[in-house]
Amino acid sequence: MTASATASIFARIAPHRSIRGFLGDELVEQLLQYAQDRERAFTPTRVGPTGMRKVAEDVRISLVLHDLGPWRDVLEERFRAVMDDAAHALGLGSIDLAVMELELVAHGDGAFYKRHVDTSTTQINARSDRVLTGVYYFHRLPRAFDGGELRLHSIAPVEQGGRFVDIAPERDMLLLFPSWAPHEVRPISCPSGDFAQSRFAINCWYRQRRKAVAAPPSDAAVPARLAVDPSARPARGRDIDSIYLEIDSRTAAAGSTRKLLRDGDPGFDEAVRLIEKPDDADALLAAASPAALRALWEFGLLVAAE
């Protein structure tokens, strides 16, 4: 490829699509009401990888609510319904969906989010990656804020021939773009300062499952007596993502030839419970199937008892 062909790829704005009238007025009103009722439960947004996220007011100011309450199921269903077409239209191929991350974000007066990519939250040993970003916009009428465009950038910065496009956050519009595409939220001015008049958005990240690395069949005998690795730390009250990460990092630390223990694999449910409640290990081990015990041992979550 010539240098100028490469330059033009990096100077191109990522493919994107918008779907107007995505949820319809009735649901918009219900979501506005929900946001208003839950105002006190919103917290400052954070940036950075899972498990190390921090408030950084020089990068991002907005408020977030992860609990979508009674709307979670219907939202998941609607977002899921457009995934395949959007992924193909944007050149992402078929997504092997692991999970959808959903959150409700309020941008009020003075809010913004500087240029970033949505893939940077993922840790090296995560089980899935953000591949497709959906942002669904809604707000009260008449609209009481200005600004808040989503600026979609090419990979190359403007000084190197790059470009950008500003997309207005239209009420009841879903915008879809690849999660690797650099973008920002332009500053919002909402002179009333009234939370209910914020620029609301539901972020949806479609996470693609990482390919499993096939485990070589192990013929080593599972030790007769197993115990929780004494160096394992209890993880009560952690969210499920941190538990997944914990499973993966313990697997790696044990030098296991198997790469990831996944949902649905023998031993996966037991692994989650062991990490959540290591004190209940004895009862869990007594009830676990031989296949689950083998997996827990191969993945380094259990070790031979002294």
Ligand X SMILES: O=C(O)CCC(=O)C(=O)O
Chain residues in the site for ligand X (CB under 6 A): 105, 113, 118, 135, 150, 183, 185, 201, 203
- DSSP-derived letter for residue 15 is P
Residue 207 and residue 17: Cα distance in Å, rounded?
18
295's contact among ligand X, Fe ion, none, with CB below 5 to 8 A by partner kind, is: none
Half-sphere exposure of 239 (CA within 13 A, CB side): 5
Q: Work out whether 298 is an interface residue with Fe ion (CB under 5 A).
A: no
Which residues are 175's β-sheet partners? 18, 135
CA geometry: angle at 263 spanning 258 and 267, to 5°? 65
What letters, b where the CB count within 10 A reaches 16 and e where it falls short, cover 70-106? ebeeebeebbeebbeebbeebebeebebbbbbbebbb
CB 178 within 8 A of CB 146: no
CB of 210 to ligand X, least distance (A): 21
CB of 101 to ligand X, least distance (A): 10
CB of 257 to ligand X, least distance (A): 36
3-class SS at 165?
strand
Question: Whose Cβ is closer to ligand X: residue 121's or residue 251's?
Answer: 121
Q: Work out whether 184 is an interface residue with Fe ion (CB under 5 A).
A: no
Residue 34's H or E segment, with its range, is helix 25-37
Cβ burial, residue 15 (10 Å; 0-12/13-18/19+): middle
185's contact among ligand X, Fe ion, none, with CB below 5 to 8 A by partner kind, is: ligand X
Which residues are 303's β-sheet partners? 227
210's contact among Fe ion, ligand X, none, with CB below 5 to 8 A by partner kind, is: none
Question: Whose Cβ is closer to ligand X: residue 118's or residue 248's?
Answer: 118
203's contact among ligand X, Fe ion, none, with CB below 5 to 8 A by partner kind, is: ligand X
CB of 44 to Fe ion, least distance (A): 16
CB of 243 to ligand X, least distance (A): 24
Question: Whose Cβ is closer to Fe ion: residue 118's or residue 298's?
Answer: 118
Nearest one of 23, 44, 49 to 34, comparing CA atoms:
23
302's contact among Fe ion, ligand X, none, with CB below 5 to 8 A by partner kind, is: none
What letters, b where the CB count within 10 A reaches 16 and e where it falls short, cover 22-56? bbeeebbeebbebbbeeeeebeebebeeeeeeeee
CB of 203 to Fe ion, least distance (A): 7
CB of 133 to ligand X, least distance (A): 7
Using CB under 5 A, which of the segments 5-13, 116-124, 235-243, 266-274 binds Fe ion? 116-124
Residue 276 and residue 246: Cα distance in Å, rounded?
10
Question: Whose Cβ is closer to ligand X: residue 175's or residue 261's?
Answer: 175
Residue 119 and residue 287: Cα distance in Å, rounded?
39
Question: Whose Cβ is closer to Fe ion: residue 179's or residue 197's?
Answer: 179
Question: Whose Cβ is closer to Fe ion: residue 150's or residue 302's?
Answer: 150
List the one residue from 71, 105, 118, 205 that touches Fe ion (CB under 5 A).
Answer: 118
CB 127 within 8 A of CB 244: yes
CB of 116 to Fe ion, least distance (A): 6
127's contact among Fe ion, ligand X, none, with CB below 5 to 8 A by partner kind, is: none
- Contact set with Fe ion (CB under 5 A): 118
